[in-house]
Amino acid sequence: MQFNEAVKKSIKNFMAGNMPKSLTEKKEFLMYGPEYFDELEAEILEEPTDSTAAREEEELDEV
């Protein structure tokens, strides 16, 4: 198996929510698991961008 193929396989497994067993057994707490990235995605994508935030602030000031 080539490096690129192994990387692809690893990504596919992670995207399916699977973590290597040996890793999860070895460490009790893993910070960067699939759940972390799900939360991060929700946090980042719901957060308004800088321009939107500035516009909202201006609107509030006008009111």
Partner 1 sequence: MKFEGPIVGENFLTDTRNYPWHRPPDLFDYDEAVSYMLSKIDEQEQIELVFAMLGIDAKVTTVVSTLLLQAISKGKFTIDMAMLIAGPLARYIEIQAKNAGVKYDMGLTNKDRIVLTPTLLKASLGILEQPEEESPEIMAMRKEAGPMEPDQEQIMGLMSRPPEGAVAPPDEQAAMLGQTEEEELEEEAV
Distance, CA of 54 to CA of 56 (rounded, Å): 5
Q: Using the rule CB under 8 A, is 3 a contact of partner 1?
A: yes
Residue 20 DSSP one-character state = -
**Residue with Cβ nearer partner 1 (5 or 62):** 5
Q: Using the rule CB under 8 A, is 12 a contact of partner 1?
A: yes
Q: Using the rule CB under 8 A, is 10 a contact of partner 1?
A: yes
Closest CA to 23 of 37, 49, 14, 62: 14
Per-residue contact flags (x/-) with partner 1 for residues 28 to 47, judged by CB under 8 A = --xxx-x--x--xx--xx--
